[in-house]
Amino acid sequence: MAMDQLAAMATFVRAVDSGSLSAAARSLPSSLTAVSRQISALEQHFGTRLLVRTTRQLALTDDGRMLYERAKSILGEVKEIEEALAGSRREPSGRLRVSAPTLMGRLLIAPLLGDFLHACPSLSVDLLLVDRNVNLIEEDVHLALRVGRIPDSQLVTRKLAEVQMIHCASPGYLARRGEPQSPSDLPRHDCLVFSDAPGAATWRFGRDAKGGSRIRIAGRLWVNSLDALASAAENGAGIVRVPSWQVERQLAEGRLRRLLREHEPAPAPLHALYQPSRLGSAKIRAFIDFLVERWRGSDPLGR
């Protein structure tokens, strides 16, 4: 991509963020004529209209909105490269946008951010808590934490830890319904399922990928919140499948009992993912190293 195209995209993004061509010209600084010429050149290059100009504000066309989102991502990557080449990797700075599963982010990551920000005073963090796989480019996410096997992709991955899923229920529920002795007993029990789409679920058992078994579960309760599921299980609603670290206190205090331990699946890996263009990013490396150091020895994930 030619440098003049990058400059034109930067001007286009600045105009959208500023709300007008004149405001963009003042902030660059540049002349109004130069700003208008760059945006017109972009429209001519892509063969489409990007902005609808009115007397008071700018409005993006559909093509303009797509270019705006992609241009912000491209410009962010260029800035990362410039910082790495300039040697700024010695001092993490700027903005770091991280995504993580909701419960893990709330219980294990958010409590650490105060110390991390104190250690990196030139850095700010956006923490996005979502139970889905984000698109790093389209959503402008620098680093994503994901649990489970990572399919083949062009993203850089680093394994941070392992997450053990366990099955448990309250003593009250087990007194009423009995304790399952094998996974094949579960279809006759009330199972609590983490999902936002009710129906049928499959729970995997056994640590051998080839010799393991899969049990189809007809859930009595479906919730898209692990917190809510654990609370329901604690109050006798049924058997729940959750990360071991989530219910450590409930197990220690006897409010939940761990079931089918000898049949538990192999731990699922927790990975950090980021784009190859950010390989030399000081802020990404600083955050990953911070998590590894904080989790070493304390075993917050129940490894």
CATH number at residue 133: 3.40.190.10
Q: How many domains does the chain have?
A: 3
Give pLDDT, residue 35: 85
Torsion, Cα of 99, 102, 105, 110 (10° steps): 110
Residue range 13-19: average pLDDT?
85
Are residues 138 and 275 part of one domain? yes
Are residues 242 and 192 part of one domain? yes
Give pLDDT, residue 247: 92
pLDDT tens per residue, range 189-216 = 999 998 876 667 889 898 765 556 889 8
Q: How far is CA 117 from CA 80, 126, 178, 273, 276, in A?
A: 20, 11, 49, 21, 25
Are residues 151 and 291 part of one domain? yes
By residue range, what is the domain housing residue 211? 165-263
- The DSSP element (H or E) to which 58 belongs, if any, is strand 58-60
Are residues 22 and 7 part of one domain? yes
Are residues 283 and 244 part of one domain? no
pLDDT higher than threshold 70 for residue 85 = no
Q: How far apart are the first and last CA of the chain?
A: 46
The whole model's pTM is what?
0.64
pLDDT higher than threshold 90 for residue 230 = yes
Are residues 103 and 174 part of one domain? no
Pair 211, 242: CB distance under 8 Å: no
Q: CA-CA distance, 127 to 105, in Å (whole number)?
A: 8
Report residue 115 as tokens. Answer: 């110390």
- Mean pLDDT across the chain, nearest whole number? 85
Q: pLDDT band at residue 276, thresholds of 50, 70 and 90?
A: confident
List, as own/partner pairs, every contact residues 135-140 make where C-beta atoms lie below 8 angstroms and the sequence separation is at least 24, other chains included: 136/273, 136/274, 136/275, 137/70, 137/73, 137/275, 138/69, 138/70, 138/73, 139/99, 140/69, 140/72, 140/73, 140/76, 140/97
Max CA pair span of the chain: 79
Residue range 154-181: average pLDDT?
92
Q: What is the CATH number of the domain that holds 55?
A: 1.10.10.10
Q: CA-CA distance, 244 to 221, in Å (whole number)?
A: 20
Give pLDDT, residue 302: 53
Query: What whole-number percentage of the chain has pLDDT above 70?
Result: 89
pLDDT tens per residue, range 19-75 = 888 888 888 778 888 888 888 888 888 888 888 876 567 888 888 888 888 888 888
Are residues 169 and 259 part of one domain? yes
Are residues 253 and 172 part of one domain? yes
Are residues 147 and 291 part of one domain? yes
Other residues' Cβ atoms within 10 Å of the Cβ of residue 189: 21
Q: pLDDT band at residue 299, thresholds of 50, 70 and 90?
A: low
Asked which of 47, 81, 115 is the last residue of a domain, the reply is: 81
Least confident of 67-71, 150-154, 191-195, 253-257: 150-154
